[in-house]
Amino acid sequence: MVDNVGVHFGGVSALDGLSFSIEEGQLAALIGPNGAGKTTLFNVVSRIYEASEGAVTFDGRDLLAMPAHSIAELGVGRTFQNLALVPGLTVLENVMVGAHSRSSGGFWSAILRFPQAAEERRVATRAHEILERLSLDHLAGRPCAGLPYGTLKRIEFARALAGKPRLLMLDEPASGLTHGEVDELGALIRQIRDEFDLTVLLVEHHMSMVMAISEKIVVMDLGTKIAEGDPAAVRDDPAVISAYLGAST
């Protein structure tokens, strides 16, 4: 899926010849110390960053040839490490924005209102369902501003699901959560993957969660892959251990 991708900022190589692939339906984790390039990869896939070389293939299509706004429609959804919600909209409306690529209607039909009424109801109903599933529906009418960090991350999760993705990329969904909540979220991600038929690419620093739910782990450091495999194999890999020890000192 990801083939030899490179991203360079000035002299810094954020990604350097990164290649790996994940299979349909897999719950894969992408881990590595801070600055390894995990978020950068997400941004390449979302077409926010331009890759200077390499290819990202999803479903046989070259994502890097697509404009940024088409990525959602192709079935790739994501959340952001540093929250990218819309503070000017309510929780429900944020989730409805997530369904943008799965709904229709422009200026003209909006002016008349009635051509979109049924569609609006459908999108709102589905947004409520997703919020319900993530135990957020009681917040539907609230503006996003002022809600706790963990809740906002979960709203982003809901927004991404509203786009009916087949590949969902989660960038540190557990940050700001307590230990108990992290375990709960891990279980939830797994359930959601099954219920929504997703392929999940998870970036997360909580190793207990990563080890517990991932079927495959890709370990990165300094923009390159240093290990890849199932949780047990990766845990004992000497390169991984040294990268993590090196990073923490």
Partner 1 sequence: MTSTGPRWVRYASGAVMAVVLVALPFMFPAFRVNQFVTWMCLAVAAAGLNLLTGFNGQISVGHGALYGLGAYTAAILVTDSGWPMLATPVAAAAVCFVAGVVIGLPALRIKGLYLALVTLAVATLFPALVEQFSSLTGGSSGLSLVVPQDDCPRGRPECPVRWESPIDGLASDQWRYFVFLAVTVVMFIVVANIVRSRTGRSLVAIRDNEVAAEASGVNVSRAKILTFGTSAAIAGVGGAMLALNNGRVNPTSFTLLVSIYLLVAVVVGGAATIVGPAVGTVVAGLFNDVIAPELPGRFENAAPVILGVLLVIQMLLAPNGIVGQIRDLQARIAARRHGGDPGGQTGHLATPGGTGTEPEDLGSASGT
Residues that bind Mg ion (CB under 5 A): 39, 81
Among 13, 26, 81, 151, binds partner 1 (CB under 8 A): 81
Q: How far is the CB of 234 from ligand ADP (least distance, A)?
A: 16
Q: How far is the CB of 112 from ligand ADP (least distance, A)?
A: 42
- The pair phi, psi for residue 132, each rounded to 5°, is -60, -45
Nearest CA to 167 out of 56, 85, 77, 43 is that of 77
- Give 203's strand partners: 30, 171
Residue 72 binding target from Mg ion, ligand ADP, partner 1, none, CB below 5 to 8 Å by type? partner 1
Of 90 and 175, nearer to Mg ion (C-beta) is: 175
Among 64, 66, 83, 212, binds partner 1 (CB under 8 A): 83
Our CA dihedral for 237, 241, 244, 249, rounded to 10 degrees, sits at: -160
DSSP 139: G
For residue 140, give both structure tokens. Answer: 């539907």
By the rule CB under 8 A, 111 interacts with partner 1: yes
What is the Cα–Cα distance from 12 to 82, expressed in whole angstroms? 22
Q: How far is the CB of 167 from ligand ADP (least distance, A)?
A: 18
Which residue type is seen at 210? V
- Contacts with ligand ADP, residue ranges (CB under 6 A): 9, 12, 14, 32, 34-40
- The pair phi, psi for residue 204, each rounded to 5°, is -160, 145
Q: How far is the CB of 199 from partner 1 (least distance, A)?
A: 17
Place of tokens 């959560």: 177
Among 17, 55, 66, 100, binds partner 1 (CB under 8 A): 100
What is the Cα–Cα distance from 136 to 131, expressed in whole angstroms? 5
Q: How far is the CB of 14 from ligand ADP (least distance, A)?
A: 3
Cβ-based burial of 249 (10 A; exposed 0-12, middle 13-18, buried ≥19): exposed
By the rule CB under 8 A, 105 interacts with partner 1: yes
Q: Residues in the site for partner 1, rule: CB under 8 A?
A: 34-35, 38-40, 42-43, 46, 48, 67-73, 77-78, 80-90, 93, 96-98, 100-107, 110-113, 116, 119-120, 123, 141-147, 159, 163, 171-172, 175, 205
